[in-house]
């Protein structure tokens, strides 16, 4: 099946009460693992990359690999830019062939975030590309001082979310509701009251960042309240690296890179499957 926009994937997910898992990625084995897991489970999936990952792989190469591999599968696949840092970096991804981009102006004053996001929406929609925005800074759990991780976690203002969606025209957006990137130092406490109010005021599919480490029952509750895309990055990298380290330790002096990377890829397939099932998107392709 061909590559589709995130708008198409998320509108269907919201109506069907499941979420589409979006996995960050930056190399061939990683992309193969994500697509294999999704195809085995007959699930839609989003393959995404942040600026550093695009710089590492090259945007054109990234889109070409995902497109060629996805073309052979009977599942819909999204290609998405995660956390576009500037207007220019975000728009550049349209030239690579991304079908969805995120512009993250959450650190800016709201009016400025809206103004730039609106311009991104205008350019992206002209190219048939969907746009994700962000309101309320989603922090880094791992960067928080010991035992005070939640101090780094912001909570979005539902009134600001309503204004942001209405004025910018985004197709979906990420709001900080007690989630954070990285490894949570203690169990994350999602603010379901804020989530409910945001959903009521905006009506567009919501995106949950920092999916790694949020318990399954919490993810499912958030999905039932309107979360339609969940980002997972740390969990795949951590699982993959741990297996790679073990494989290298068990096979000293073996220079067969394919043999060394195969168990890593298998582990990533397993992790991706677990998270797709948590998102309840299996057999929804």
Q: Within 10 A of 138 (CB to CB), how many other CB atoms are there?
A: 27
Is 209 among the residues that bind Zn ion (CB under 5 A)?
yes
CA dihedral 108, 201, 8, 134 (to 10 degrees): 10
CA separation for the pair 130, 223 (Å, rounded): 21
Is 275 among the residues that bind Zn ion (CB under 5 A)?
no
Cα 13–chain centre separation: 14
Task: Please identify, using beta-carbon distances, which residue of 12 and 209 lies nearer to Zn ion.
Answer: 209
Task: Please identify, using beta-carbon distances, which residue of 41 and 177 lies nearer to Zn ion.
Answer: 177
Shortest CB 108 distance to Zn ion, Å: 16
CA separation for the pair 127, 74 (Å, rounded): 25
Q: Report how many residues bind Zn ion under the rule CB under 5 A.
A: 1
Q: Within 10 A of 73 (CB to CB), how many other CB atoms are there?
A: 17
Contact by Cβ (8 Å): 230, 211: yes
Position with the least CB separation from Zn ion: 209
Shortest CB 161 distance to Zn ion, Å: 16
Catalogue the active-site residues: 82
Is 265 among the residues that bind Zn ion (CB under 5 A)?
no
3-state SS track over 227-283 = EEEEEECHHHHHHHHHHHHHHHHHCCCCCCHHHHHHHHHHHHHHHHHHHHHHCCCCC
Q: Which stretch binds Zn ion (CB under 5 A): 35-43, 86-94, 206-214, 264-272?
A: 206-214
Task: Please identify, using beta-carbon distances, which residue of 50 and 124 lies nearer to Zn ion.
Answer: 50
Look up tokens 């945001």; give the residue. 198
Shortest CB 228 distance to Zn ion, Å: 15
Q: Which stretch binds Zn ion (CB under 5 A): 88-96, 107-115, 202-210, 220-228?
A: 202-210
Shortest CB 46 distance to Zn ion, Å: 13
Shortest CB 210 distance to Zn ion, Å: 6
Q: Where do contacts with Zn ion occur on this chain (CB under 5 A)? A: 209
């Amino acid at each position: 099946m061909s590559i589709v926009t995130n708008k198409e994937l998320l509108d269907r997910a919201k109506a069907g009460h499941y979420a589409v898992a979006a996995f960050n990625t930056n190399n061939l084995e990683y992309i193969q693992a994500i697509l294999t897991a999704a195809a085995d489970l007959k699930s839609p999936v989003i393959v995404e990359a942040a600026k550093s990952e695009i710089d590492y792989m090259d945007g054109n190469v990234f889109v070409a690999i995902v497109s060629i591999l996805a073309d052979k599968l009977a599942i819909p696949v999204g290609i998405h830019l995660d956390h576009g840092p500037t207007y220019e970096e975000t728009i550049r991804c349209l030239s690579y062939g991304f079908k969805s981009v995120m512009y993250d102006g959450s650190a800016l004053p709201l009016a400025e975030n809206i103004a730039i996001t609106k311009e991104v929406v205008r350019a992206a929609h002209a190219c048939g590309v969907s746009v994700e925005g962000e309101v309320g800074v989603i922090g880094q759990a791992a960067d928080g001082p010991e035992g005070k991780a939640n101090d780094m976690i912001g909570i979005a203002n539902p009134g600001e979310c309503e204004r942001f969606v209405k004025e910018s025209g985004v197709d979906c957006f990420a709001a900080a509701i007690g989630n954070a990137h990285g490894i949570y130092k203690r169990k994350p406490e999602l603010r379901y009251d804020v989530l409910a109010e945001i959903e009521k005021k905006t009506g567009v599919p919501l995106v949950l960042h920092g999916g790694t480490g949020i318990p399954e029952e919490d993810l499912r509750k958030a999905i039932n309240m309107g979360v339609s895309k969940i980002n997972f990055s740390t969990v795949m990298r951590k699982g993959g690296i741990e297996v790679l380290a073990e494989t290298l330790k068990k096979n000293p002096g073996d220079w067969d890179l394919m043999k060394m990377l195969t168990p890593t890829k298998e582990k990533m397939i397993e992790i991706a499957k677990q998270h797709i099932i948590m998102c309840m998107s299996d057999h929804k392709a």
